[in-house]
Amino acid sequence: MKEDIENENEDVGQKKEEDEENNYTSKIEKLNEYHLEHKYLFRVCLLGNAGVGKTSLITRFCDNIFKETYNNTIGVDFRVVTLKYNDIIAKLHVWDTAGQERFRSLALNYIKNSHAFIFIYDICDKSSFESLSGWFNLALEKNKNSIVNVLIGNKCDIADARVISQNEGEQMAIANNFHFLETSAKNDENVLKLFYYITYKLINYYNENEYVENDNIELYSGQTEELPTSRLNENKCKC
């Protein structure tokens, strides 16, 4: 009897946690005020082959627009977004990295200092899916401290040309212990959810663990360290 009650309490606790996870989108807001004092500054880095939609996802999230063509991102670019959750203000620095090899050494600095990674493939491009392990290795070898990792199958609006099933994406995420979502930057599907999930997880994590702000990441360090290109499936990169 006592055991039953204890099990029941455990179930209720777990249910509450699940409900809260499912509700995070309604508790977070994106603010248009940029000068509010923040409690946390989080760096989020987007990685994946050229053409998968990194810039499009960021532009959808930050400006709520979608363009059919973007110039290739040169090097690394970043946007700042202010978010509020339970009266806590967090700033996200969202890093957009170029897929081009000659700029990868530049991306290293950001990779090393990220709190979260978003790994992206295009559900219509098999090579972008096959390149993922190279991106995982690169990021997680250089940064063992990332708190949240999310795998994204982008362009889920194009059903006809899909070559990677949702299940394949999910399995890849489960195998690596990542959160998984399919998104469409074009149709605005799951884009807010993606960034809200990361914010929610990071705030919860740092509410319980020590947080030290480090806003002193050098933009151009002159670092020449080469990245492990052989593992990044260069031949299949579209750029």
Q: Which of 115/155 has CB closer to ligand GDP?
A: 155
> Could you tell me if 66 and 56 are in contact, meaning their C-beta atoms sit under 8 angstroms apart?
yes
DSSP-assigned letter for residue 157: T
Min dist. Cβ of residue 189 to Mg ion (A): 19
15 or 238: CB nearest ligand GDP: 238
- Strand pairing class (28-31; 40-47): unpaired
User: Could you tell which of Mg ion, ligand GDP, none binds residue 184, using a CB distance below 5 to 8 A set by kind?
Assistant: ligand GDP
| Least distance (Å) between residue 33 CB and ligand GDP | 27
DSSP structural state of residue 86: T
* Separation of alpha carbons 77 and 55, rounded Å: 9
Residue with tokens 């978003």: 118
Report which secondary-structure segment, H or E, holds 82. Answer: strand 76-85
Within 177-222, where are the H helices? Answer: 191-208
| Residue 191 CB, nearest approach to ligand GDP (Å) | 9
> Length of the chain in residues, anyone?
239
For residue 38, which of 91, 96, 78 has the smallest C-alpha distance?
Answer: 91
| Binding status of residue 159 toward ligand GDP by CB under 6 A | no
Binding-site string for ligand GDP from residue 98 to residue 127, where x marks contact by CB under 6 A and - marks none? -x----------------------------
Confirm or reject binding of residue 131 to ligand GDP (CB under 6 A).
no
154 binds Mg ion (CB under 5 A): no
Positions in the binding site for ligand GDP (CB under 6 A): 50-56, 68-70, 73, 99, 154-155, 157-158, 184-186
Residues at the interface with Mg ion (CB under 5 A): 54-55, 73
